[in-house]
């Protein structure tokens, strides 16, 4: 298949820093950015509001296919024009997302949506299965990891900064539970894709991780124009 634009995929568990790195890279390159987790978070949130559980996979698939969702030019998440950008960022929405993400009908419904993001001059895609399932022929694949304790601590600090009241032990347990579900589900589990650059970031700063990723992108795409 001929592709319209080059793709960099960045996958990893929650709190690995993939969202931050993916955004930095997309800004630096002037490329489009796909936050695939946001799609699952919206489905998770809507499913909770409407009382639809994974026991009704067909209904969840329909929900994912028909939700009136769009992203505006600033990356705000709009559902029938209501701004739900903040509502989908809670831990509760993350956990709900992880539950609906194990449902094959939901994943299937979101495939076309995710692939439609491939547009010139390029795409940086952030998620769990970007390099393994959605864009298996991506030019660059990155897999970011960090220890559970470090990821929980990062998330704890983020939430604290937002002024939220958080409990580190509970957060750690929730992250562990979410990881387990994301790694062990039967469809598109979280795995390091073949040929991915794996970066273990427990003892690295964001800038150190970013430099390694940039180096890999430069090697793989030597004809890229850098300002």
Name which of residues 77 to 116 contact ligand DC (CB under 6 A). 94, 97-98, 101
Return the residue of 141, 154, 155, 178 that touches ligand DC, per CB under 6 A: 178
Return the residue of 7, 8, 21, 36 that touches ligand DC, per CB under 6 A: 36
Closest CB to ligand DC among residues 161, 227:
161
Closest CB to ligand DC among residues 2, 36:
36
Contact window for ligand DC (CB under 6 A) among 1-9, 36-44, 115-123, 205-213: 36-44
DSSP symbol at 136: T
Contact window for ligand DC (CB under 6 A) among 37-45, 60-68, 165-173, 205-213: 37-45
Assess 182 for contact with ligand DC (CB under 6 A). yes
Q: Considering only CA atoms, which of 191, 198, 63 is closest in space to residue 142? A: 198
Give me the residues that bind ligand DC (CB under 6 A), please: 14, 36-37, 40-41, 94, 97-98, 101, 127-130, 178, 182
């Amino acid at each position: 298949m001929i592709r319209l634009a080059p793709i960099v995929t960045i996958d990893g568990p929650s709190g690995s820093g993939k969202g931050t790195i993916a955004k930095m890279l997309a800004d630096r390159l002037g490329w489009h950015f796909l936050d695939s987790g946001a799609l699952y978070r919206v489905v998770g949130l809507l499913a909770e509001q409407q009382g639809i559980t994974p026991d009704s996979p067909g209904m969840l698939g329909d929900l994912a296919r028909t939700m009136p969702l769009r992203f505006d030019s600033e990356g705000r998440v709009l559902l029938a024009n209501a701004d739900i950008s903040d509502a989908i960022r809670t831990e509760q929405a993350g956990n709900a997302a992880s539950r609906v993400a194990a449902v094959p009908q939901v994943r299937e419904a979101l495939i076309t949506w995710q692939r439609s993001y491939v547009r010139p001059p390029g795409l940086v895609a952030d998620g769990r299965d970007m390099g393994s399932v959605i864009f298996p022929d991506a030019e660059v694949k990155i897999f970011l990891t960090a220890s559970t304790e470090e990821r929980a601590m990062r998330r704890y600090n983020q939430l604290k900064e937002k002024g939220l009241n958080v409990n580190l032990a509970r957060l750690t347990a929730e992250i562990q539970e979410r990881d387990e579900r994301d790694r062990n589900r039967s469809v598109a589990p979280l795995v390091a894709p073949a040929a991915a650059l794996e970066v273990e970031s427990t003892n690295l700063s964001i800038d150190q991780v970013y430099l390694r990723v940039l180096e890999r992108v430069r090697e793989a795409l030597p004809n890229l124009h850098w300002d």
